[in-house]
Structure 1
Amino acid sequence: MQKIAVITDSGCDLSQETIKENNIQVLPFRIIYSDREYLDKVTISEEQVYEDLSNGIIPTTSLPDLQYTENIIRKLKDEGYTHVVVVSVSSNLSGTFNSIQLLCEEHPELMYYFFDTKTLGFPVGAIALEVSKLIKEKASFEEIIDKLPNIKKSISGYVTFNTLEFLKKGGRIGRVAGTVGEMLHLKPIISSDDEGHLYPFCKVRGRKKSISKLKEILNSYLEGGKCRVWVLNGAALEEARAFFEEIKNKHNISEISFETIGSAMGVHTGPGAIGLCIKKEY
């Protein structure tokens, strides 16, 4: 008899309520300041990180804490789990995928499947939610593995920023490109490609145009059929709420939720990020 668990990392941006409801095990990224260190969603909240960012205090992020990860795996063994599906942030953006693999090798009693999502942020969480749903539906470990590639293909994410400052400081874009972008008031919409790298899906000038472009992107999906939609807010509550209210009744949206961009991604996007995660259901 298979007893299947799903593990992801805190870059998934799922709320604590959603994590608990869906029995998802989350490995917290480390949020590192010059004089202190925290575990994402465990010992520090998104609200505190965004407040620090707004005040010019910019931490870095690092791999999930090894001891915390070890404790989760031991807990799963103690609770009688036999199989584990690990849904990880893109291996081309983080060393998390490889570090979890290495640690799990120390616990061969469990059977693992490591799925590199080739993305980051809420799309990782959306994939983990689909795995959880399959587990609830009594799908076998083998069936879940078989379905994961198509689940990944059905889910996309797009995020725009209020400033390029944090991408520049985090080394995600060059200083020259970031400075020129700021001078031209460019607001890129970032997504991830098939290899799991971030890339500018498009660039527009000005905040209003960037949000309008997000609507256009959503409409292009909805023209094809029904979609599950998540609106993503990174300390841009008023604008993100207005965006949510404007799109929530669009034809072909099967379900829509309002979510927070978590600390691990927020360190690079900064306050003022707005995004979409879209799951095609056609």
Structure 2
Amino acid sequence: MAAALASRAGWAMQAIQERLTHIREKTEVIYTLDTLEYLARGGRIGRVKALAGALLNLKPIIRVDTDGKYSTVKTERTINKSIASIAEHIREKYGDTPLWVTVLHGRFAEKADMLTKEFQERLNIAKLEVMRISPVLGVHTGPGIVGAAVVPMELMGDLV
């Protein structure tokens, strides 16, 4: 989106590329899943791990790093605790920095609302959006995904 906004504003290609690099370095993408079933179906985790996750009611909190690699930040025992942990993780990373927050979910609007409320209580939100994830991601995660993409507003403010 930033590239499109910058292009519409008449930015040079080099300036757009530099801004996108900064945005990529400063953006946090983080989410949790209600079930590991879909990750197992897609071969992203083993069936034994998915079964153990279901039996123990484990809800991983997963972040995507700047290289697009996925890593588990923490694992909670309930989706509500995972949502609170996501908000705390973002708070620890950004502090009081004004943020552009996009809450993302599958067919999990209730939990997206819960995450939105957690963010509103803990973060300095300059812009907030709530959106459904793309079907491409939903195929791998299932409908029970909720998370966020967060970027400091200082990197977006002159584009909106």
Residue 216 in structure 1 maps to residue 107 in structure 2: no
Distance 2:121 2:75 in 1: 27
Cα distance change of structure 1 residues 251 and 178 upon mapping to structure 2, 3 Å threshold: closer
Cα distance change of structure 1 residues 194 and 231 upon mapping to structure 2, 3 Å threshold: closer
Cα distance change of structure 1 residues 263 and 247 upon mapping to structure 2, 3 Å threshold: same
Residue 157 in structure 1 maps to residue 157 in structure 2: no
Partner in structure 2 of residue 241 of structure 1: 113
Distance 1:228 1:210 in 2: 21
Alpha-carbon contact 2:99-2:150 (below 8 Å) kept: yes
Partner in structure 2 of residue 73 of structure 1: none
Alpha-carbon contact 1:221-1:280 (below 8 Å) kept: no
Distance 1:163 1:170 in 2: 13
Spell out, residue by residue over 1:79-137, the C-alpha distance to the aligned partner (whole angstroms, 9 max, x if none): xxxxxxxxxxxxxxxxxxxxxxxxxxxxxxxxxxxxxxxxxxxxxxxxxx111121122
Cα distance change of structure 1 residues 208 and 245 upon mapping to structure 2, 3 Å threshold: closer
Q: 1:148 aligns with which of 20, 44, 61?
A: 20
Please list, as runs of the form range in 1=range in 2, the aligned pairs for 1:162-177 lying within 5 A after superposition: 162-177=34-49
Partner in structure 2 of residue 183 of structure 1: 55
- Secondary structure of the 1:248 match is helix
- Structure 2 residue ranges without an equivalent (≥5): 155-160
Normalising by structure 2, report the TM-score.
0.86
Alpha-carbon contact 1:222-1:253 (below 8 Å) kept: no
Q: 2:11 aligns with which of 127, 139, 153?
A: 139
Partner in structure 2 of residue 279 of structure 1: 151
Computed over aligned residues only, the root mean square deviation of the Cα atoms, in angstroms, reads 1.8
Partner in structure 2 of residue 267 of structure 1: 139
CA offset at residue 245 of structure 1? Answer: 3.5
Corresponding pairs, count: 154
CA offset at residue 166 of structure 1? Answer: 0.2
Spell out, residue by residue over 1:207-251, the C-alpha distance to the aligned partner (whole angstroms, 9 max, x if none): 221111112122224415111101112111122123323433655
Distance 1:243 1:149 in 2: 27
Alpha-carbon contact 1:158-1:276 (below 8 Å) kept: yes
Distance 2:144 2:98 in 1: 28
- Structure 1 residue ranges without an equivalent (≥5): 1-128
Larger RCO: Structure 1 or Structure 2 (Cα < 8 Å, ≥ 6 residues apart)?
A: 2
Distance 1:237 1:193 in 2: 25
Distance 2:113 2:38 in 1: 23
Distance 1:249 1:225 in 2: 14
CA offset at residue 168 of structure 1? Answer: 0.6
Alpha-carbon contact 1:222-1:252 (below 8 Å) kept: no
Kindly indicate which of the two structures has a greater share of residues assigned to helix: 2
Cα distance change of structure 1 residues 227 and 142 upon mapping to structure 2, 3 Å threshold: same
Normalising by structure 1, report the TM-score.
0.51
Partner in structure 1 of residue 157 of structure 2: none
Distance 1:184 1:162 in 2: 12
